[in-house]
Structures are given as C-alpha cells and as structure tokens.
Structure 1
C-alpha cells in the first residue's frame, strides 16, 4: 500500500514571512475555493514566492577556463550568437532569445574550423536546445561536458530536469549540476540550490541551498545575489542585515538582473529597519523592474492591481501583468493567470486556456498549480474529465509536501476518485493534513467520526475535531460543531453555544450555515427569534441554498414569519427544484397538479414528479409508482409502476416494500409469487413496518410460500400488537379464542378483540359479536352481539353486513326485520360480496318482501354466479325448470335453508 512518504523533520511548507508580505496581496475572493467535491471545494493555496520558483536564466560572469577545454581562438560569430551571458565571449544570449538558425549555422561552422575548441560544441548544443532538437543537443553537450566544459554539464542538467533526454530525472540533473557546482560554476550552484530548496533530486536541505546561493552571490552571479538578498531580508534582525540585503539587490541589479530592482521595491513596499513603507517609490521600482523583464515584478504589480492596495483596483490590468510574467516563464504568475481565466476575472472566461496555464506552472513544480490542474481533470473543466489524471496530479503535489493536496488526496483515496477505494490510506492522509492544522481536514475527520465512516463512531472525538477546525474559522467545522451542540451529541445540548458557532459560520457568507442558523432561531423556544431566523433563511435562499429555498416555500405556505402567499411558495419551490432539491420537486409537482399558487398544469406536474423520482428520491419513486399503478388512461402503467416501487423499496422505503409484498401475494399487476411476497414483507418488517409484520405473520400462519409456523406467526403478530396495530391485536385474539399455537383464554381474547376494535378494526367488532353470540366468554348475549355486528357493518365491513342481515332475517337477538336485513345485504352486495347477492336472490324467490319476484331473483342469482357463488348457479337453473321451482315462503314460519346461519360463525382475521 502506498503510504504517505515522510517529510524531512524540519521541512517548512509554509512560505517565509517576507515572501508572504511580497506575494500575499491577492484577496481571498480571487483565490477562494471552487466547489468540486460534495463535501468541499478545491482551494487556491497561498501564492508561491521567489524562494521556491524555478530559476530564471541570469548566469553570472565566470572564468574563461570554465567553458574551454583547449586554448581558445579569438572571438567568433558563434560566441556572439549562442554563448551564455557573463562569459568573456561577448555579452552572451539567454537561451530563450537565441536566433536558432543563425546560431546553428555559425556554430556548426565554428565546430568544423575548430574541432578541438569544446565551447563551440557547447554553444551548438544550446542552439539545438532552442530548436528542440534535444537528441542532437544532448550529443553535442555530452561531448563538451566530457571535455570539461562546465556550462555543458549545466545545460545537460537542465535537459534532464525538464525531461528532454530519456525521460525526466531530477536525480541525474542534480548530479550534473553538482559536477559543475563543485568546480565553482555559479549557474549550476544556483540550479542545485533550487533542488535542495524544494527537495527534488536531493533531500530537502535549506541550509545547503543557502550555502550554494551564497557561493554564487560571492562570485557575482545576479540570481545568487538576489536569492541571498531575499533570504537576508526575510531573516533580518539588525540594520546590518537589511543593509547587506539591499547591497545584494543593488549588485544583482547592476549585473543585469531586474529581480534585484524587484527586491529593492519590496523593501520599500514593506519598510525596513524602522523605516516607513514608501509605496510610491516601491511602485516606481516595480515598474522599472518589470520594464527590464522581471517576471516577479510583473507578478507583484498584478497582485497590487487585483487587491486595490497602492493602486486603483484594475482586474484587467492585473491580468495583463500576470500574462507578461507568465509569458516570461514565471510559474506563480502562470497559475494566477489561470485562476483569472478560469473565473473570468479581468479576462473573458476560458477554461481551456486556464488549464493550459495551470499545466505550464505545474510542469515547473508549482504545487498549487498541480492541485488546480487536478481540479480541472476532476471536473472535466477545460480538459476531458479524467479522474485518474486528477489523482496523479494531486498525488504529485501531495508527495511534494503541499498540505492542501494531502487533504484532497485523502478524500480521493477515501471516495475512490481516480484510484480504488482505500479508506484507511485516505484517513492517513487526512490525519497528516490535520496534524499540520489543515482546518478542512480536521472538519472532515469530525464528519467521519460523527458518521462512523472508516472509523469507529465517536461523537466526542467528532466534537473535538470540529472544535479544532472551528477555532481556525473553518465554516464546515463551525457548522458541524453547531449541529452537534444543537443535537446534544458528544456533549450536553447547548443551544446558545450552537447559536454562537452557526452565527460565526453564517457571517462568513456560507449559505448552508445561514440556513442552519435561521432554522435554529425558528425551531427552539429557548433561542427563538422568528424575524431574525426568517432573515437568515431568506439570505441563504438568495445565496442559492436549496434547503433554505424549500423551507422558505413552506413558511410562505403556512404564513410563519411571512405573509401567507402560495404564489411565493411556488416561486421558491421552483428555485429549489431547479437545483434538484427532491422534496421541492415533489412539492412543486403537487402544487401544479392541484393548481395551488399556480395555474394547474398536469403535464408539468408529471415532469417534476418524474424528475424527482429519476433523481433518486425514494418518496417520489413511491408516489410515482402509485400514480402509475392506479392512474387513469394513459397515465396508468402497472409494469413501470412496479419498477418504480422496486427502486424505492431498494432504498429501504418500507411502504414501497409492503406494497410490493401485497402485489406479489395477491398477484395484482404481477404474477403471483409467494417467495417475492415474503422477501418484500420481510424487508419492510425488518424496518418495523407493522403492516408487513402482520402480512408476514399471515403467510407463516397459512403456510404460503413457507412451511406453516404458528410460533413465527405469533411472534410477528406480537411485534405489531406491541405497537397497538389493530389487525395483529385481532389475530392474537383469535389465537387465544381458538387455542391455536397458545393456550386457549377466551376472556383474554375478548380483551384483544376490544383493543383492536377500539383501533377502528371492523372485523374485531365482528369477532366480539361472535364471542357474545355463542357465549364463548360467558353467557350468550344476542343483543350485545348484534351491537358489535352493527358497529362492524357501519364501518362497511361486508361480512358483518351479511351476517347482521341474516340475523335480522332470523330474528336472532331482536325482532325479525326483513327490510333491514335486505338493506344490509344490499350494502354488502354493492361491495361485491357474492354470498349476499345469492341471499338477496333467495329473498326475492321466496317472496320474503312481499310478492314473489322470480325475475329479480334470477338477476341476483346471475350476479352471484358471476361472482363465483356455486349455489347461485343451481338456483338459477331451478328457476328455469318449473318442476324444481319452490312455492312462496312468504307466509311460512320457516326460512329457506340458505338464509339461516346453520353453523357457528368462524372468527375473522380480516
């Protein structure tokens, strides 16, 4: 497993104070985080300073024998066109300004004329580098280096460092620089110092870097002078230190390094040795340095213009200054120009160009640019989305010591972005960043402990991490600390303290924290301030927080803290719904379907309903499934309905699970499948759904899809009955009344029936009627039995209606009442009760209402037969056969056998 590599014990990854003052002028708004992961944004870390940026080519004078391996001839055209600056062979030309065609022609001629003069080979190699003929360049430079030309070794080191020969190899570059530096070659000393300073190709060693800068400065190398001056200015403790720094800057300036002028400008800008800052003179020096080609000066001018400090704020001017510095190859400016292009600040927004500039800076080891480029690949912004490349760039910055990258690399490992999920390694990186006081890493560790994600759940540990982050003004830490205090997790509930931390986060402008603050002020009496709460919610809503927009819509609906206004309700629902807030989408669909606060639009309602469901909102999937299951016309689609119900059920929506169990158990809209019914009922029952517990109990009681198991059935009934679920109370009552699975106890059964009846379960009234009718729990009481049957019938229980009708026909418990009986039987018949249809046929056939009516009887029998009653078919045939017709019983003292309840009524489960 790739564990985080250890840093050098004393490796400082924060910027020196003097450099921070020089380059810390960009305001937070310019370099604020841009959200790329659901939990946080990609930051723009502190600006890199000159102490860590790649070297500009300002070589110093060096002895002639440092570049020649044989007696030199006189000055040649090759020297004039391709020699590096600072030699005795003319003024010299920086590599980027070599006129390659002319230089190659002159140097190839010089090599032919003077094959033993190795400096011409070295100059030819430089010309080849300029034209990117790196293979030819390496050959010429190797030949010169082998003959002792130090500049050739230096140039080979640059090729190795840039990956221009057989791949990038900073270790090889360091060896080549070291060979030249050991011979006192100043440009190589500066290049090697830079590697020590950044820990590339050599162990991180700022002391070694300083020694090399000092050596180069003593030899008059202008870059060494500038770097040493910068160090002295940053660490100055006495007037002498400032004086020495100033002298080094002046020396660098005189040697032709405009960064010397830049260093003087910074000293004027800050003030030094008790002197007041002189911004006017500093600006003049910055412009002078910039005009002379100092990329750092252009960069500083850009920072001043963007920050409105010392000059009017001018984003366009700042972008131009950054562009000039970027084109001079200065990585921090390349990164800052990329930021402005990415955000359209001072320049037209151009993500592709931003990515290109980030890449240039990243290729030159600007760690912040590497992290920003990772962001671009993570988002697919300006480049094709590529999580693997995002991970590699983030890892590169992290391994180089950028603490922000440690945090993001931890999240990428933890979430499996561009790499396999590895929560352990991800948390290792987060801990490493948190130990360096990275506030967002601290906040994220708090989230992990609060949720038990990759670590053992521990609210107290979460609270401690949130406190650390909050104390550093991390808004995520402040928000989550407020949440734990509000909920009393990891500590006693403290609404005042929660209010304090929510307010600190809200005042930073973070919309979600503003929402939490507003909600707190409206929720709890101890801190309630409805007007202020509403203002914070409105502020969060205006800032685009969908939770706040949805809550504000509810406030307008109910008129809490605002005027009741359903049009405003809909307006806020639309804004939240457009941000894919699922509850808002579903609520908007409901408003559109009812015309509440908006003109009714069923098509739009369906679109929003479907959008919420497609967004994964289980409640919307459930309701869409029900609409498609029971809808009318083209809106009805049972197959799709079942699909949506399954999607909701797989998100642990217990109602969807129960409905699916019922559909499979009854074979409605799907093929009957008891195994599937048991599966879905079991899932819902595991979530304490009493309906599912009861239905699953019925499956075990009757042995549908499983072996009969009354013990298991009773256990399920008991779980639901403990929650006072009426059907399960009734089922336990039946078990007690019949002794099915438990010892018979009819008095206790009566108590369970009564409890179920009190819960509105009509069959329980019918069962109480049976208990009293037959005297199961004491003396028979027909009058009380009729009362319970009547209560069940009044609740449209069709079996109770039929039973009561039969009792009225027989006069059981009270005077016989045929008309009341027919009325009750008719109610049951209208609900589709086949037996009641048959009984009504008997009433008409036997003339119990008056005259016999065979036609009416035939109609009832036919309806009963169609509903599946076999006896009705026989009576219908008898009516058609005169020999089998029966005489009218209108005056008979006995009733036809079918009308009499001839055996004890069974108890009703449902």
Structure 2
C-alpha cells in the first residue's frame, strides 16, 4: 500500500473487528515468555493507537525499538541453533514489522508533525517527549484551551496524563479536571477525586481547592464539610483566590465551622482582591446588605462593577440592579438594561427575568410584551423561581401570549415549590379562586401560610383573612390580628386590624365565598332580622299575637 494512513487504518479495523477479545490478546502477548522477541512490534502498535489500552506514544516507541534491537540475537541464534528455524521466523517477522511500523511512527509522529507544528508546540514538544512533566503540563494546557494550537481535549488529556504520572502536581490537578468534566475522556468523578487528592497532597493550591469542592458537594466522595473546610483553608493559605472564596462560603453558611460573617467577609475580601470575579460579586453583596461589614452601597456598586467587567454573569446582573434602583450610583434605566442584556446573554437566569421586566415596563428600552414573554420563558426554563412566577403571570393575564390559566397554575406551582414567596402567593390565589385548578381552600391556606412565613406582605394579609373568616382553617381571630399587623408593618396599608366583635364562622371552608384578598377585611354585616330558627319562630308567634290583638281592637269598637 502506498498510503501510510490507509495501511494503518486497515490494520486497526482488522484488529478491532476480529472475533477475538483484543484486550485479552494484548494481555496474552505481553505476558508471553517470548514477548520481547515475537510480539514487541505488535504491542507497540496497540499502544500507538490505544487499541484496548491508553494511547502511549513513548511506550509504543520503546516496543518498536525493542523489536529492531533484537536483530543481533536473531543472527546469533541462527548460527548456533538451526533446529529453531520456526521460532526464528517469528522473531524475523517481528523485526521486519517493527522496522516498518517504526518508520511510519517517525514519519507521522515526528517528521510529519514537525512540518505542521505551531511555535507553541515546537517550544514544548521536544522537552515533553523527553519526559519533562512541566513541558507535558504546558502542552496539555495549550491543547485544552487552544493556546497557540487548535483546541484538542484528547491531546490535552494525553499530555496531562503523562505529566501527572511524572508526579507533576499541576498535571495531576488538570487530569482530575479532565475526568471531572469529561474532557478527552469519559466523565468519572471518583477518578477525578483520586487525582485531585494526589495533587492536593503534592502541594498544588488549585488541587487543594478542587479536593475541597469534592468534599463540599459530595462529588466522587461522601460529602464532608469538615474536610472541605480543611482543604479550602490550605488552598486559601496558599493564596489561591477560589480557595479563599470557598473558605468564605464555609464561614458564611457555617459549613465545617461555626457561622461567622466577619470571617466570611475577610476571606471574600482576599479573594476579590486576588481577582476572583465571583468573590468580587459576593463582596459587593456583603457591602449591599451589611454582612460582616457596614452597609455601603457605593462600595457594593464598586465591587459589582469589577465582577461585571471580569465577565461574571451574576455580577453583571447585580450591576444592572444598581443602575435600575440607583444603588450606589445614579439611577439609569438604559445602563440597567445594557447590563441585564449582557448578563442574560451570558446565561444568568435571574437577569433574563429582570430583562423581561425591562421589556414589560419599557425601562431603558421600548415596551415589548412579546420580548418580555420570551425572556421570562428563558429564565423559567433555566430554573429561576422569579422567572417561573413571571411566566405564570404572563399566562394568567395574557401578556405576550394567550391567556391560559392552566399554564399559569403550572408555572406558579414550579415557582412556589422552588421557594419563591410571590409564586407561593399566586399559587394560593389559583386554589382560592379555582383558576387553572379545582377550587380548594385548604390548599389556598397552605400556600398563603408558606408565602406569609417567607415574608411576603400580601401573603401575610391574606393569611389574616383565612384565619379571620375560617378559609381552609378554623376561625382564629387572635392569629388573624397577628398576621394583619405583620402585613401592615410590611407596607400593606389596607391591612387594618378588624373590630373585636367575632365574625360568623362559615359552615364549610370550601363552600365559603370569601371577600377579595385585595380588599381590607370587614366584618360580616349584622342582620336586622333574627338570626336563628328559634328566634324566627318566636317572631312569627309575636307577629300572630299582635295581629289578633289588632283585629280584636277593631271588632270591639
């Protein structure tokens, strides 16, 4: 065959399509006592192309050279022993095949490669092939990120593997990342954990951080926040910015250590100043809400800006929020719209929801209900509870789409179950008024209760109604008053405390028609007529007696 590539492809296909188990064949020929003399060329071919084994060009070259270097021993055997011609023939075939495959190897993997190598590959390849773990790591990094070469995750994995096996801590970490994310190899979190562990124990700060994340999230190993804290601490002390951020997270949420906002702020601050965009965003959040430091909107704006300009989508969303609400800067709807758009394009679901509001209300852009619906839909599909509620709102009122109570109920349900208090309030209303679902006052009460306890003022107001009128629960005026007061303190102006007189208890919660949740609670009007059957009977009797007396007076005159 004149075409080298065609020849090799034919051989590979023939081996793989053979009825025999090629993995078992490789094990047998490697373990054979005459392997060095009879099979070394074929073994080299297996490693060169990764036939039921990892690709290993260095090992492949070793086996090809081993086959050729046995030529002298073949000549000696032929001179000393003419009876083993059959075995000598096998050794001769092995040498011939070895020479041919070695020539192809040199042509394809060295000469041909050199003709097309980039400057980056030339810089690292020579040292990498000599076994330099740093050069192997650098070459892997270039292939992983397409730095000076065409991006190739398979080659990145190959070179990281060599670097890792040559005890490079950085190579071990990046090999772990290949397994963790499935770059150039099937995803395997347990193997990723093993390589992160080796890297961390060899002092790599990034490996220590990644090992901490494995323990923090329970990836490849059982979740253990104490060990996560331990490894994040080591990474942070080694000045790794993401490790400092995660150590801040441990202090913020009290994971593996007692909750301490001051310590959390301290580590977020270090992470942010070391250029970690997520840390910069979180530091902005601390300043905005006064967590571990004094509330300072200008500094919040400053750190959100840094995070946003470093490409962090959540930071871009928060910067948009600052411009929309004049937080630490002048109110500017156009800039808010601009940053929400950038963040939304970068996949931030919350920003997609906020961009929907801009289109719905014409903030920084022309009002466009269709685009509002489109952005709410993207946000909802991406799992944002606020966006799911907004999408439900669109279906409920026909904004940018046809009115559909059933779909409104579906999206309110998703939002509510994802913990959004406004979604819980709207789901309660669906049950209360029978919109998109059968009317159910017990369910309405349940969701008003969740919304109220999640600090939604209108939910607190409606929960007060439920207790006052016995909607989905027993009448409890004291609890009603408590929730009316909470709603009033949270800004619901018409959530006035009802008069002390007791309202009428409905006989059946699900048959009781309550007043609108938007209206202030009013006592049922006291009837001018008698209220019980006994009272009605007495009234009739008295009316009859009075009527008789009236006619007696007439007849007596």
Q: TM-score range by the shorter chain?
A: 0.5 to 0.7
Change (3 A) 1:495 1:647: closer
* Residue of structure 2 aligned with 1:441, choices 184, 201, 207: 207
What SS does the corresponding residue of 2:255 show, helix, strand or coil? coil
Aligned twin of 2:368: 637
**Structure 2 vs 1, CA of residues 176 and 639 (structure 1 numbering), >3 Å: closer, same or farther?**
same
- 1:583 and 1:404 map into 2 onto residues whose CA distance is 29
Give the corresponding residue for 1:359.
125
The residue correspondences of 1:734-749 to structure 2 (distance < 5 A) are 736=470, 748-749=475-476
1:383 paired to 2:149: yes
1:675/1:388 Cα in 2 relative to 1: closer, same or farther (>3 Å)?
farther
Task: Provide the residue aligned with 2:64 in structure 1.
Answer: 172
Picking from 504, 526, 538, the partner of 1:776 is 504
Among 620, 628, 647, the residue aligned to 2:359: 628
CA contact (8 A) 1:370 1:393 kept: yes
1:566-605, aligned counterparts within 5 Å?
574-582=305-313, 584-586=315-317, 588-589=319-320, 603-605=334-336
Give 1:647's aligned residue: 378
Shift, 1:626, TM fit? 0.9
SS in 2 for 1:457: coil
Of the three residues 397, 407, 413, the one matched with 1:666 is: 397
Give the secondary structure class of the aligned counterpart of 1:644. Answer: helix
The alignment status of 1:728 with 2:424, answered yes or no, reads no
Residues 489-528 of structure 1 aligned to structure 2 (within 5 Å): 489-492=255-258, 516-517=266-267, 519=269
* Greater share of helix: 2
SS, match of residue 311 in structure 2: coil
- CA distance 1:657–1:400, shift in 2 (3 Å): same
Out of 695, 700, 705, the position equivalent to 2:431 is 700
Q: CA deviation at 1:616?
A: 2.7
Structure-2 change in CA distance of 1:431 and 1:544 (3 Å)? closer
Q: Which residue of 2 aligns with 1:689?
A: 420
1:114-513 correspondence runs (5 A): 168-177=60-69, 352-399=118-165, 402-434=168-200, 440-466=206-232, 480=246, 484=250, 488-492=254-258
Contact 2:432/2:440, CA 8 A, preserved across alignment: yes
- Contact 1:720–1:728 under 8 Å retained in 2: no
SS of the residue 2:428 aligns to:
helix
Scaled by the length of structure 2, the TM-score of the pair is 0.59
Distance in 2 of aligned mates of 1:174 and 1:762: 90
1: CA distance, partners of 2:257 / 2:520: 57
Q: Deviations over 1:353-387 (max 9, x none)?
A: 12332233334443332221111111111112222
> Cα–Cα, structure 1 residues 433 and 623, in superposed 2: closer, same or farther, change >3 Å?
closer
Distance 1:572 1:627 in 2: 24
Does 2:341 align with 1:610?
A: yes
Paired position in structure 1 for 2:484: 757
Give the deviation of 1:474 after TM superposition.
6.7
TM-score w.r.t. structure 1 length?
0.38
Is the alpha carbon distance of 1:569 and 1:467 closer, same or farther for their aligned partners in structure 2, counting shifts above 3 Å?
closer
After TM superposition, give the deviation of residue 643 of structure 1 in Å.
2.1
Q: Bigger shift: 170-179 or 474-483?
A: 474-483
Instruction: Provide closer, same or farther for how the CA distance between residues 381 and 690 of structure 1 changes in structure 2, counting only shifts above 3 A.
Output: closer
SS of structure 2 residue aligned to 1:635 = coil
Q: Give the counterpart of 1:677 among 401, 405, 408.
A: 408
CA distance in 1, matches of 2:66, 2:423: 73
Q: Report if aligned partners of 2:466, 2:472 keep a CA contact under 8 Å in 1.
A: no
CA deviation profile, 1:866-898 (whole Å, cap 9, x unmatched): xxxxxxxxxxxxxxxxxxxxxxxxxxxxxxxxx
Q: Deviations over 1:466-505 (max 9, x none)?
A: 4666787877667655764675432446899x69xxxxxx
Instruction: Kindly state the Cα deviation for residue 398 of structure 1 after the two structures are TM-superposed.
Output: 3.5
1:423–1:454 Cα contact (<8 Å) kept: yes
Please say if residues 729 and 752 of structure 1, whose CA atoms lie closer than 8 Å, have aligned partners that are also in contact: no
Q: For residues 381 and 659 of structure 1, do their structure 2 counterparts lie closer, same or farther at Cα, with a shift above 3 Å needed? A: same
Deviation at 1:620, TM superposition (A): 2.5
C-alpha distance in structure 2 between counterparts of 1:796 and 1:471, whole Å:
55
Distance 2:258 2:186 in 1: 39
Q: Which runs of 5+ in 2 are unaligned?
A: 1-36, 49-56, 76-116, 506-514, 529-557
In the alignment, structure 1 segments of 5+ residues that lack a partner are 1-152, 184-350, 500-514, 520-535, 778-788, 813-910
Is the Cα–Cα contact under 8 Å of residues 353 and 387 in structure 2 kept in the other structure?
yes
SS of match in other structure, 1:169: helix
Tell me, yes or no, if the aligned pair for 1:586 and 1:620 is still in contact at 8 Å.
yes
Question: How far is 1:718 from its partner?
Answer: 3.8
RMSD (Å) for aligned C-alpha atoms: 5.2
Give the 3 Å change call, closer, same or farther, for CA 379–396 of structure 1 in structure 2: same
C-alpha separation in 1, matches of 2:360 and 2:461? 25
Structure 1 residues 696 and 420, CA gap change in structure 2 (3 angstroms): same
Q: Compared with structure 1, are the counterparts of its residues 699 and 392 closer, same or farther at alpha carbon in structure 2 (3 Å cutoff)?
A: same
SS in 2 for 1:359: helix
1:565 and 1:681 map into 2 onto residues whose CA distance is 33
Evaluate the alpha carbon distance shift between residue 670 and residue 430 of structure 1 in structure 2; reply closer, same or farther with a 3 A threshold: same
Secondary structure of 2:220's aligned partner: coil
How much does 1:578 deviate? 2.0
Aligned residues: 418
Against the structure 1 CA distance between its residues 656 and 591, is the aligned structure 2 distance closer, same or farther, given a 3 Å change threshold? closer
Q: Residues 421, 765 of structure 1: CA spacing in aligned structure 2 closer, same or farther, 3 A cutoff?
A: same
Q: Is 2:226–2:257's contact at 8 Å kept on the other side of the alignment?
A: yes
CA distance in 1, matches of 2:156, 2:196: 18
CA distance in 1, matches of 2:325, 2:452: 38
CA distance in 2, matches of 1:544, 1:400: 31
Structure 1 SS opposite 2:160: helix
